[in-house]
Amino acid sequence: MLAALLYGREDLRLEEVADPTPAPGEVVIQVAAATTCGTDLKVWRRGGHARMLQPPTLFGHEAAGRIVALGSGVGGWQVGDRVVANNSAPCMNCFFCQRQEYSLCPNLTWNNGTFAEYLKIPAQIVQHNLLPVPDDLPDALAAMTEPLACVLHGVARSQIQPNSRVVVLGDGAIGLMFVAVLAHRSAEVFLFGGNDQRLQIGAQMGASRTFNYHQVSDLPAVVKDLTDGWGADVVIEATGVPAVWEDAIACGRPGATINLFGGCPRDTTVTVNTEQLHYNELTLKGVFHNTPIYVRDALSLLASRAIPFELLISDRRPLKDLEQVFQDMKNRKAIKVAIEPSLNFSGH
């Protein structure tokens, strides 16, 4: 089969590799759509990820497709079933899993390789995070289950109250998903990003106000002007830039929750004003990844079509265009792209 392998920084190669065969408990799916992600972009630019993958490796982690092979012992599934698989599953046995803190499981089973014609799903994911796709849900939308599950996890950890005033920093796919979910839950959302086209999509997703940070000299001051001089109830940082983490902390009102959601490069640090943290009773949260319940909630929300998540899909492209797609994402010309391997054979 044709598959994308990551060899290092911005070194992505399409190669012919052996078709996967399922071991006991595993399934193999034919990839119908694999969506690109900001995490993929970061991993491509940095040449790896400390937890999820080490090059050279199959690449990509968001996909939906059809089961084409079942390993021995797999029950409840049939060849031909449309499915979406999360890119991880917890062990269910460790200290953290026993406390239902599944995203902290040190034994997470990771799976990469969605940018390929076929994808093997490990047994632990088959058991805990493989879900049927509703008939009327397009593959590209179903593929977005994993990032939306991460966002739902982030929202749940952010102490959102009815009519909360929330600042979202970052207009990538994750930031825009936060906007959509928060607005859907009646929060007043202020979005700050660097791309006018994406900010326009943020407004369509429900942002009350949008701001291009290139035209903002003092971001915390703008937030205070929007919030009666206090600052936001909740701030979601969705860029993974240490300086923006510091901006996020400065944007919160006394008593605010600051969700530091964007993963920064390894070994980076931020400076926190201890007086502000203490006397303003700020809550600083790091929130990572997702858990099985949010994977299910994400697929349900996508299937409901209550939010126009299709606005985030900039294009459909064949697998052979993947390198150009990442260049486009690097240049902020695309938000998410649906890679459809079958397009290679249909003359598109």
pLDDT in tens, 49-86: 656 667 788 999 999 999 999 999 999 999 999 999 99
Mind spelling out the 3-state secondary structure of the chain?
CEEEEEEECCEEEEEECCCCCCCCCCEEEEEEEEECCHHHHHHHHHCCECCCECCCEECCCCEEEEEEEECCCCCCCCCCCEEEECCEECCCCCHHHHCCCHHHCCCCEECCCCCECEEEECHHHHHHCEEECCCCCCHHHHCCHHHHHHHHHHHHCCCCCCCCEEEEECCCHHHHHHHHHHHHCCCEEEEEECCHHHHHHHHHCCCCEEEEHHHCCCHHHHHHHHCCCCCEEEEEECCCCHHHHHHHHHCEEEEEEEEECCCCCCCCCCCCCHHHHHHCCCEEEECCCCCHHHHHHHHHHHHHCCCCHHHHEEEEECHHHHHHHHHHHHCCCCCEEEECHHHHHCCC
Instruction: Specify whether 122 is located in the same domain as 16.
Output: yes
Average pLDDT of the residues in 289-307? 98
- Residue 195 falls inside a structural domain: yes
Give residue 301's domain range: 2-144+290-345
Mean per-residue pLDDT of the chain? 95
Instruction: Specify whether 23 is located in the same domain as 59.
Output: yes
Instruction: Specify whether 261 is located in the same domain as 335.
Output: no
Average pLDDT of the residues in 145-156? 98
**How many domains is the chain partitioned into structurally?**
2
Least confident span in 39-53, 146-160, 190-204: 39-53
Which of the listed residues 261, 286, 311 is the one where a domain comes to its end?
A: 286
Instruction: Specify whether 116 is located in the same domain as 184.
Output: no
Instruction: Specify whether 133 is located in the same domain as 247.
Output: no
- Nearest-5° angle of CA 27, CA 30, CA 35? 110
> pTM (2 decimals)?
0.95
Which of the listed residues 271, 286, 301 is the one where a domain comes to its end?
A: 286
Instruction: Specify whether 251 is located in the same domain as 296.
Output: no
pLDDT in tens, 169-216: 999 999 999 999 999 999 999 999 999 999 999 999 999 999 999 999
Which of the listed residues 269, 286, 303 is the one where a domain comes to its end?
A: 286
Instruction: Specify whether 132 is located in the same domain as 12.
Output: yes
CATH number of the domain that 25 lies in?
3.90.180.10
